[in-house]
Amino acid sequence: MAIGIGPDIKEAIQEVGTGYTIVDIGVSGEVLKSESNAQVTKPFIREFFLEAMMAYDTSGEVGNILEFERNQNRYVVMNITDDIFENEVFRKNAVLYKCNINDGVLMRPSGEDNIRDTYHTQTHWSHITGEISALMTQPLFGNDPDTDEELGRIGIERHELYIPSSIGIQELDRFEAVSGEYYVVSEVIKRRYQSVDVVRLEEDQRE
């Protein structure tokens, strides 16, 4: 714990910063100072990515969901880096991604039944979470042009979901982004970010 400049910087952040609640662990009363990256020209990044300065003793960790008191916007903590002076942490710097999904629902197949007088089956779904906050977007970088082109030809839309690893999302889960809008989890990338999964979603056409 910093006994030098850390408390002074914390006090300065409290004077000019934004109060927030760490939703997933129920901690409130902390303050951070945030700003968008002024060097970035892409509107999506300016809208959804924030850099934040946090107190040295914050309870926040990578993968937490923060809710700002001033506007109730929610953010997933993507990265936290310690600033160290004379072997003590005096401040923490974070990268936050703004959540554009705040009442998503995750479901998992729990069995199938044959639909009478047809060759089709109907999947039964178990709700495995309450409401989820996450960032959902089309892939930001064209890493898989062949896949994107193929999906475009057959009319299936693909998205990426940035979601805390603590949720435990799995392949073949169904994600309901908003009421009646269903996606199937086609891939879960667990090692791109610490404590945050990158999930590839496709339109879910299962019964």
Q: List Cβ<8 Å contacts ≥24 apart for 165-171.
A: 165/63, 165/190, 165/195, 165/196, 165/197, 166/24, 166/63, 166/195, 167/106, 167/129, 167/132, 167/197, 168/128, 169/106, 169/197, 169/199, 170/108
The pLDDT value recorded for residue 44 is 78
* Residue where a domain stops, chosen among 98, 129, 151: 98
121 and 158 housed in the same domain: yes
pLDDT beneath 70, residues of the chain: 1-3, 38-41, 112-120, 140-157
Domain range spanning residue 72?
Answer: 6-98
* Residue where a domain stops, chosen among 79, 98, 117: 98
124 and 153 housed in the same domain: yes
Neighbours of 151 (CB within 10 A): 15
113 and 197 housed in the same domain: yes
89 and 108 housed in the same domain: no
14 and 89 housed in the same domain: yes
58 and 117 housed in the same domain: no
Number of domains in the chain: 2
Question: Is residue 18 one of the residues assigned to a domain?
Answer: yes
d(CA 154, CA 187): 19
Q: What is the CATH number of the domain that holds 183?
A: 2.40.10.270
- pLDDT one-digit tens code per residue, 55-110: 999 999 999 999 999 999 999 999 999 999 988 999 999 999 999 999 999 999 88
51 and 110 housed in the same domain: no
* Residue where a domain stops, chosen among 98, 119, 148: 98
Identity of the amino acid at 67:
E
The pLDDT value recorded for residue 151 is 35
Distances (CA, A) of 181 to 63, 77, 93, 111, 168: 25, 26, 35, 21, 20
93 and 109 housed in the same domain: no
What contacts 187, CB < 8 A, 6 or more positions away? 171, 199, 200
Question: Is residue 1 one of the residues assigned to a domain?
Answer: no
Q: What is the CATH number of the domain that holds 49?
A: 2.40.10
The pLDDT value recorded for residue 1 is 45
122 and 168 housed in the same domain: yes
Torsion from C-alpha of 103, 30, 169, 111, nearest 10 degrees: -50
154 and 69 housed in the same domain: no
Helix H segments across the chain? 6-16, 43-48, 145-153
12 and 89 housed in the same domain: yes
Our measurement of the distance from residue 186's CA atom to the centroid of its chain's CA atoms, rounded to an integer in Å, reads 17
116 and 194 housed in the same domain: yes
The pLDDT value recorded for residue 177 is 92
Distances (CA, A) of 64 to 12, 67, 178: 23, 10, 22
d(CA 159, CA 74): 20
81 phi, psi to nearest 5 deg: -125, 130
